């Protein structure tokens, strides 16, 4: 199975939704699911993109 997960919260951001999303993804991968996560650039809580990141597809 393949899973596409869209989120605006994902590590390296440090908040509960980011941590939950990451933990869910790890469990799905353990179960054999191919997980792709699409996120915006990390910017929580100040709204400034973290150093080393920019908005672009990789």
pTM (2 decimals)? 0.78
pLDDT of 55 reads 74
Q: What is the pLDDT of residues 22-35, one digit of tens each?
A: 999 999 999 999 99
Percent of the chain at pLDDT above 70?
97
37 contacts 2 by C-beta, under 8 angstroms: no
Query: Mean pLDDT for the chain?
Result: 91
Compute the chain's Rg from CA coordinates: 12
State yes or no: pLDDT of 44 exceeds 80: yes
State yes or no: pLDDT of 40 exceeds 80: yes
Q: What are the phi and psi torsion angles at 51 (to 5°)?
A: -55, 135
36: its two tokens? 């792709």
């Amino acid at each position: 199975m393949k899973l596409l997960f869209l989120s605006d919260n994902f590590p390296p951001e440090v908040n509960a939704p980011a941590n939950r999303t990451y933990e869910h993804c790890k469990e799905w991968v353990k179960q054999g699911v191919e997980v792709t996560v699409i996120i915006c650039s990390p910017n929580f809580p100040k709204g400034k993109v973290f150093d080393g990141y920019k908005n672009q597809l990789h």
